[in-house]
């Protein structure tokens, strides 16, 4: 059972999925084991996720683990139609195509919600909400949630006492959020900026707003490409850490005057204001790598500008009243997703390994309370172990003596 | 009232303290304010700390804040006699000299314990223990503790219900443990190795055991000096992080065969065993930057060696049965303390700023429960703010709109 | 007079040229001066160059300097048709379109050769050769040559005594070859690999073959992106330099077994042989950043493989007899040109600033001997000065005392 | 035959020499071969060099190669008396002790000059000059010269036609000057600053004046230790290179206002003037890593200051008329030599390997003209090869096909 754009794209989609599989060896190792052990035999899964080649690797894994999988997209624009076709051909029940209208989008989610699932796998919380509203059944053992947004919604439900099944917050795994933000976005934001502009980074002054994990990643990679990096922050502790790492730190109003490239990573609003933009040098480039497109005051910029024109894909020129030009990338949306290809498969490998193991964990621990759980440390560690192992990297094991030493506190000089 | 080695060293000591003051401007800023506000007026402080030029800057600060200060050393060997003399001359009641015997050491602690203090400031927990045992009085408002060791002891007391006053664990301030370990030890361990050996780091293979904050600091600085760095770890998550930072990761047994310099930072025992040492190249150098001298199996190495001789200060040559020579620095003790001068004043600046503000906090919040507290976030932030300010660095403030945005969760694309 | 694909593309081309101009401010500064001084008034220039937006910035500059410019493309595939249209509209005599056949290509060159030029500006030496053969006239004052290939041909002509006019080898300017190779290719090779594969660089083992300027650039940037970098070399001095910079160095046969990504930069042939490829891990990626597509033995790989299929644009999968798969990017051609956009405008800015100033130099120094000249130091310095000035960077000037000191050798302690 | 301070120090000296030998394995490999081949049998060598443990490794090598060696010190203060004693006991004819007065110093040089040597090995040119003046004999086959200073003097002699034997300028070997300046001084300058001040480098603003090899080395290592690095330069090309490496570049007058630590590396005079110093922040630290103590205007600083006092070894405080304090290290002399131990043995290993092989080369090529020669490429390469080999590093060899390819120029796409 499936609804996809064009089933004849299956072969092309399969090739994409294979490329992803090659770079998602952690998940493939898990698939290998689950294909034998079938831990999800007889389990029906409702999943709402971006239908990409990486998600396909997860779907195939759950399928091989014995589950009956129903999948809808978590965004009307993010579905890769060839991948959806390949999944359909593999026997995954997929209901997704690129460019669904709003009704089609919610219909697809409803389709997977009403299958009376045992496991609910969501990215954003819409599926969890819908099932709580209209399709809850006691068959549900539990669920997982990929995003911070979704976790916040589920926690609110937990606090209000309305959460009906246990959910594991995959986002909170160390092997998810730390690697994803720092190493994934650190690279892909630069990739997006290069594809959009083809400018030289060496010798440029790059201003990174925010020194959280994303900001740290971008600042470090930009320096690695030869930029002089300036950090802006509101937290004195984070600002001090940036200073100790050798970065310049100053207010955005000062940085505005000297930056060539600006990247926002704060998670907050109007981090770069129109007043800041008015200070900038002719030719300044503005990009956002934070989740929402509110970090740069795009609306204000549009209102203030005398003219706007597109220069290159994802690069728009704004002519300011002072005669200078600034270049906004991807309309202020996530530059790594819009202008490049988002996270490399290797990053999703860790994230989806946590998904697969969390799904198994819920099935094996049916007496969990109705609460939002962090990914258990043992899973976090297991994901890291598997990843190291597929990279061919061995590490030390604690000796018995060391285990004891680390337990009993010793006093010495 | 004081007992020091030679009061005539006071002027020389003052010069040392001034040098420290120049590099402890955060604490100096706090002193400036406290000298006016006198928040510790009428407060008697018992303190047991290493009597160094940095501690002197803290003592002068407490003194200027109005307190009556009694100070003993927290280690029989760490007292700088000229600094002690200068403090005595300043009106601090100091009882410490380098080379105290055991009785003298404990007598000095007892001297400061029995003054019926209002505040107890300790480094290691000996003073807290003694006061609980023999000198408790209801005059005591609370205390602070500088080290992890001390905090562990105090937590045990809290859990057993015997803790008699609130204690702030200064060690747990972000501006203390993060900067201290990563940036302080990261630099001073290299400094110690260079002073002990004068070898070239560029082109060497450096093996860092442990990728906690100390290990991260040393690995990063060693790479910055041109070394090829290998990390060994027992935690798969930390190991994976090291890999993503571009470091090689392998078991110590493998690393043993290719390393030129080995630095342990794990906090555990026998991280480098005699069997590992037997694998090493002729000329390998062994150093420890973890707290205790058990990380390298020094005893085993001594037993196994055919000959030991001193080559340079802090550098001993061990002739192995296989004919190779390895060089152990500082007898396996903390190489940055033994062969160099420990933390730079700038690091103690942050730590002691937390001490001074925590002391003030306790005095201003007299109704704290008898428990071990983390340093309040507001103090942590204030220390970072002051440090930035004395460095001449300004940062952004959240706008009202941003504060609201960060409170109310927003959903968007 | 012009021959382009579609003159109606002129406006679109102009927008591209403007984007380039924004990032070629050194050349724009030169244009500003030359537009006033008209140093090339009455000069006819025959030019054969890649007809790109960057070349257009140079052409407009020469045109504004007073010259009458005739331009043909230096490669049948490299012409940007919109840019050619814009140039035609600007009054440049341009004869170039993308996809010329061989006859059309040489006809276009002949068209610009036979205008009886005063200056000859070439990229590869074909124009110089043709003019020497068939179109020499005593009106020719001199010429310039952009590439190493062309310079080698001209030097051979000089040595044989057949060179008929002086030529400046723009390629030999420090501000050309050093920045171009190290910073330009260092960045764009990574850009090309990311666009072709979208893989994660952090945590990967990257093998860079060759540690000349290109290899240095790529090794440094790859490390900056979080890779563990291995260098292979045939020169012991360069190999030692790589070691001192902290890189691992080993023979390609050993590196073959552990690399994830291979980049050749040597300028030599069969640097990665089929035997090396047979050692590689499943999934290894092969890219070339050296000038010619002979560094990886692509022909041998094709013969040896059981199957070849395209996975993504510029990424072909080769199935080896041993069952492993390797991925060859851009068919072994220059990965930065094929899979990304070649040098950023900023790099061509320096190169073409040297071109413009060299053209002016030849016109102003008409008594040069018939020889191949390096770019005069004064031009090299002037280009660097202008570049710094448009970046808003000021530097020191030697004082009179310092000039004298640096001349007279001083003996001291 | 010898004249040393105290022959009983021989054993202690031997231990120092052994420590050096362990880190000079390139030279030891050469010694191993020469001990068998005895290429210097019957050769008498006059040498004037700093009598350090590293020089001792060279002397023992020449001695084992069959030579009869006479050694005097090249500086009255640089002799290590225990090393001199050990050499004397080894049968080297050494005439050197620490603290020679001027007459004793020149007497010692004369002693080694008048032995009618076959080879003359000098560091600074004094020995070559003396022999030309008073002790020339036709027995002399040739000589070597370690320093730039000496080479300049010898070139002047060559140009005037008075040079009486061929001399190899060891300083000009790539494996000498490049590694020595960039990697040797890059590390030891930081070592010297840390020993003198024990300050924290992370978070500091470090101003490096001059971006030659020494400046590049220090800038790179300072960044590696967490500093924000500013470069000052007079050459626009070097300045631009620094910018492209991500450093800030500005005039010293601007940098003066924001730097915490200043390091001069230019080889010129008054690079930091009193006017610059007056701009500096309270507490600024001034160090010189260039050859002579004229880069900082020390005399001017002394005249301008209201008070000078010593704070720590090699750290003097200058109280300026504006009330601020600056700290001059090592009185403006080379900070790595004065406050630390100069070059690590590994650096001298390369330099003295060139010395030993150059000595052998002269003996084996007796028909060299009376001129100053660069170290032959074959020796430079051999030194690098040996160094790699003792580090256990293998590199590739060109195949026959590659050798041919690199000879014949190929045209391709």
Give me the residues of A, 29-58, that contact B with CB < 8 A.
Answer: none
Task: Please give the mean pLDDT across all residues of chain B.
Answer: 95
Least confident piece of the model among B385-389, C258-262, C278-282, C401-405: C401-405
Query: What DSSP element (H or E) covers B264?
Result: strand B261-264
D11 touches chain B (CB under 8 A): no
CA dist A111 and A125 (Å) reads 16
Pairwise CB contact (< 8 Å): A341 & C283: no
For residues D5 and A93, what is the distance between their CA atoms, to the nearest angstrom? Answer: 92
At D149, the pLDDT band (50, 70, 90 cuts) reads: confident
Binding site as annotated, residues of B:
52, 123, 146-149, 176, 180-181, 210-217, 233, 268, 289-291, 336, 343
From chain C residues 284-323, the ones with a CB under 8 A of any chain D CB are 291-294
Q: What is the mean pLDDT of residues B155-181?
A: 92
What is the mean pLDDT of the segment spanning B136-145? 96
Rounded to an integer, the average pLDDT of B201-219 is: 97
- Which CA distances in Å does D26 have to B204, D21, D376? 15, 9, 18
Closest CB to B202 among C203, C226, C244: C244
**Across residues D216-224, what is the average pLDDT?**
97
The Cα–Cα gap between D105 and B119 comes to 65
pLDDT of residue C257: 98
Question: pTM value?
Answer: 0.95
How many CB atoms neighbour CB B208 within 10 A? 32
High-pLDDT (> 70) share of chain A, % = 99
Chains in contact with D, counting 3 or more C-beta pairs less than 8 Å apart as contact: A, B, C
C202/B245 touch (CB, cutoff 8 Å), yes or no: yes
Q: What is the pLDDT of residue D73?
A: 95
pLDDT score at C238: 96
Distance CA B85, CA B101 (A): 19
**DSSP 3-state of D116:** coil
What is the C-alpha to C-alpha distance for residues D238 and C384, in angstroms, rounded to an integer?
A: 9
Give the tens place of pLDDT for each residue, B25-74.
Answer: 999 999 999 999 999 999 999 999 999 999 999 999 999 999 999 999 99
Q: Cα(C348)–Cα(C146) distance, rounded to whole angstroms?
A: 11
Helix (H) or strand (E) holding B155: helix B148-159
Would the pLDDT of B209 be above 90?
yes
pLDDT attached to residue D104: 95
The mean pLDDT of C339-346, rounded to a whole number, is 91
| Ramachandran category for residue B246: left, alpha or beta (phi over 0 → left; psi -120 to 50 → alpha) | left
What is residue A346's predicted lDDT score, i.e. its pLDDT?
96
Q: Token pair for residue C209? A: 């073959």
Query: What are the angstrom distances between the C-alpha of D244 and each of A23, A247, C340, C378, D211?
Result: 33, 16, 21, 21, 12
Mean pLDDT, chain A, as a whole number?
95
CA distance B220 to B186: 8
Neighbours of chain A (3+ CB pairs under 8 A): B, C, D
- DSSP assignment string, C27-62: HHHHHHHHHHH-TTTT-EEEEE---SHHHHHHHHHH
Q: What is the pLDDT of residues A263-310, one digit of tens each?
A: 999 989 999 999 999 999 999 999 999 878 999 999 999 999 999 999
Say if C228 is an interface residue toward chain A (CB within 8 Å).
no
Q: Which residue from D187, D200, D311 is facing B225, i.e. has the nearest CB?
A: D187
Q: Which residue of D lies nearest to C248 if distances are taken between CA atoms?
A: D393
> What tens digit of pLDDT does each residue of C83-97 get?
999 999 999 999 999
Considering only the beta carbons, identify the residue of D234, D270, D388 that sits closest to C395: D234
Query: Cβ C293–D413 below 8 Å, yes or no?
Result: yes
- Cβ burial of D155 (10 Å; 0-12, 13-18, 19+) is middle
- Which stretches does DSSP call E strand in D161-283? 167-169, 205-209, 228-232, 248-249, 261-264
Task: Provide the ipTM.
Answer: 0.93
Q: Provide the chain D residues 92-111 that lie in CB contact (below 8 A) with chain C.
A: none
C240 vs D232, D388, D409: nearest CB: D388
Residues with Cβ within 8 Å of D308's Cβ and at least 6 positions away in sequence, in order, are D302, D316, D317, D318, D319
Q: Exposed, middle or buried: residue B212 (CB in 10 Å: 0-12, 13-18, 19+)?
A: middle
Average pLDDT over residues B332-354: 93
**Cβ distance D186 to B227 under 8 Å?**
no
pLDDT value at residue A412: 33
- Residues A20-42, mean pLDDT to the nearest whole number: 98
Binding site residues of D for substrate, as ranges? 52, 123, 146, 176, 180
Q: Is the pLDDT of residue D67 over 80?
A: yes
User: What is residue B397's predicted lDDT score, i.e. its pLDDT?
Assistant: 95
* Binding site listing of D for NAD(+): 147-149, 181, 210-217, 233, 268, 289-291, 336, 343
pLDDT of residue B408: 60
Alpha helices in D182-225 (DSSP H): 186-197, 213-224
**Contact: A202, D226; criterion CB under 8 Å:** no
The model's confidence at residue D410, banded by pLDDT at 50, 70 and 90, is very low
Percentage of chain A beyond pLDDT 90 is 90
pLDDT-derived band at A411 (thresholds 50, 70, 90) equals: very low
Please state, in angstroms and rounded to a whole number, the distance separating the CA atoms of residues A325 and A305.
Answer: 9
Q: Give the strand pairing for B307-312 and B315-319.
A: antiparallel
pLDDT digits 0-9 by tens, A75-133: 888 899 999 999 999 999 999 999 999 999 999 999 999 999 999 999 989 999 999 99
Interchain CB contact of A77 with B (< 8 Å): no
Mean pLDDT of D115-123: 97
Binding site per annotation, positions of A for NAD(+): 147-149, 181, 210-217, 233, 268, 289-291, 336, 343
Q: Is the pLDDT of residue C408 over 70?
A: no
Mutate to test the interface with D, among C240, C399, C412 (most CBs of D within 10 A): C240
Tell me the C-alpha distance between D263 and D270, whole Å.
Answer: 13
Q: What is the pLDDT of residue B78?
A: 87
* Alpha-carbon span A56 to A87, nearest angstrom: 7
State percent of chain B over pLDDT 70.
99
Average pLDDT over residues C261-278: 96
Set of chain D residues whose Cβ sits within 8 Å of the Cβ of B19: 311-312
pLDDT at D78 over 90: no
**Which residue would you say has higher pLDDT here, D248 or D267?**
D248
B243 in A contact zone (CB under 8 Å): yes
A145-169 tens-digit pLDDT? 998 888 989 999 999 999 999 999 9
**Angle C236-244/D377-390 helices, nearest 10 degrees?**
50
Q: How far apart are the C-alpha atoms of A178 and A182, rounded to whole Å?
A: 6
Q: How confident is the model at residue C75 (pLDDT cuts 50, 70, 90)?
A: confident
Confidence of residue A171 (pLDDT cuts 50, 70, 90): confident
CA A199 to chain D, closest CA, distance in angstroms equals 13
* Of B222, B274, B269, B266, residue with least CA distance to B248: B222
Structure tokens given for C284: 């290894």
Place A211 in a pLDDT band, splitting at 50, 70 and 90. very high
3-state per-residue secondary structure call for chain A? CCECCCHHHHHHHHHHHHHHHHCCHHHHHHHHHHHHHCCCCCCEEEEECCCCHHHHHHHHHHHHCCCEEEEECCCCCCCCHHHHHHHHHHCCEEECCCCCCHHHHHHHHHHHHCCCCCEEEECCCHHHHHHHHHHCCCCCCEEEECCHHHHHHHHHHHHCCCCCCCEEEHHHCHHHHHHHHHHHHHHHHHHHHHHHHCCCCCCCEEEEECCCHHHHHHHHHHHHCCCEEEEECCCHHHHHHHHHCCCEECCHHHHHHHCCEEEECCCCCCCECHHHHHHCCCCEEEEECCCCCCCECHHHHHHHCCEEEEEECCEEEEECCCCCEEEEEHHHCEHHHHCCCCCCHHHHHHHHHHHHHHHHHHHHCCCCCCCEEECCHHHHHHHHHHHHHHCCCCCCCCCHHHHHHHHCCCCCC
Side by side, which strands form the sheet with A44-48?
A93-95, A68-72, A44-48, A119-122, A142-145, A167-169, A372-374
Alpha-carbon distance of C161 to A246, in angstroms, equals 57
Per-residue model confidence (pLDDT) at position D407: 76
B275-284, C71-80, C204-213: segment of lowest average pLDDT: C71-80
Starting at the edge strand that comes first in sequence, how are the strands of the sheet with C228-232 ordered? C248-249, C228-232, C205-209, C261-264, C284-288, C325-329, C315-319, C307-312
Q: Is a pLDDT exceeding 80 seen at residue A408?
A: no
Spatial separation of the C-alpha atoms in residues D167 and D144, rounded to whole Å: 5
Spatial CA neighbour of A136 closest among A2, A41, A43, A46: A46
pLDDT of residue A105: 94
Sign of CA dihedral C289, C295, C299, C304: negative
Report whether pLDDT(A240) > 70.
Answer: yes
List domains and CATH numbers for chain C: 2-176+344-390 (3.40.50.1480), 182-338 (3.40.50.720)
Considering only B65-79, C397-411, D322-336, which range has the smallest mean pLDDT?
A: C397-411
Residues of A in contact with B384 (CB under 8 A): 235-237, 239-240
CB B90 within 8 A of CB B63: yes
Nearest CB neighbour to B395, from listed A239, A271, A399: A239
| Chain C residues 196-215 with CB within 8 Å of chain B | 202-203
**Quick one: what percent of chain D has pLDDT higher than 70?**
99
The whole-number average pLDDT for the span A317-334 is 97
- State both tokens at A324: 């200078």
Place D409 in a pLDDT band, splitting at 50, 70 and 90. very low
């Amino acid at each position: 059972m499936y609804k996809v754009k064009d089933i004849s794209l299956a072969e092309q989609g399969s090739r994409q999925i294979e490329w992803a599989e090659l770079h998602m060896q952690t998940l493939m190792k898990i698939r290998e084991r689950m294909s034998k052990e079938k831990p999800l035999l007889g389990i029906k899964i409702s999943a709402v996720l971006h239908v990409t080649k990486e998600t396909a690797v997860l779907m195939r894994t759950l399928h091989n683990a014995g589950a009956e999988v129903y999948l809808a997209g978590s965004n009307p624009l993010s579905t890769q139609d060839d991948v959806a076709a390949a999944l359909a051909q593999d026997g995954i029940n997929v209901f997704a195509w690129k460019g669904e209208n709003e009704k089609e989008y919610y219909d697809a989610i409803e389709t997977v919600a009403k299958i009376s699932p045992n496991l609910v796998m969501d990215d954003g919380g819409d599926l969890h909400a819908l099932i709580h509203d209209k399709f809850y059944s006691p068959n549900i053992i539990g669920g997982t949630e990929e995003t911070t947004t979704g976790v916040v919604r589920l926690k609110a439900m937990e606090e209000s006492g309305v959460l009906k099944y246990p959910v594991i917050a995959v986002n909170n795994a160390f092997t998810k959020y730390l690697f994803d933000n720092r190493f994934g976005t650190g690279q892909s934001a630069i990739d997006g900026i290069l594809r959009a502009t083809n400018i030289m980074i060496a010798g440029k002054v790059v201003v990174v707003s925010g020194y959280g994990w994303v900001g740290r990643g971008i600042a470090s990679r930009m320096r690695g490409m030869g930029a002089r990096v300036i950090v802006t922050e509101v937290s004195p502790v984070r600002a001090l850490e940036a200073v100790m790492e050798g970065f310049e730190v100053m207010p955005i109003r000062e940085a505005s005057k000297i930056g060539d490239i600006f990247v926002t990573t704060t998670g907050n609003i109007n981090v770069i204001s129109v007043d800041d933009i008015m200070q900038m040098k002719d030719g300044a480039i503005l990009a956002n790598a934070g989740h929402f497109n509110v970090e740069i005051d795009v609306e204000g910029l549009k209102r203030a500008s005398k003219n706007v024109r597109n220069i290159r894909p994802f690069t728009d020129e704004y002519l300011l009243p002072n005669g200078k030009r600034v270049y906004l990338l991807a309309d202020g949306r996530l530059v790594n997703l819009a202008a490049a290809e988002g996270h490399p498969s290797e990053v999703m490998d860790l994230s989806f390994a946590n998904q697969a193991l969390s799904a198994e964990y819920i099935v094996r621990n049916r007496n969990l309370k109705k609460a939002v759980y962090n990914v258990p440390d043992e899973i976090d560690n297991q994901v890291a172990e598997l990843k190291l192992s597929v990279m061919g990297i061995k590490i030390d094991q604690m000796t018995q003596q060391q285990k004891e030493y680390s337990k009993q506190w010793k006093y010495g000089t």
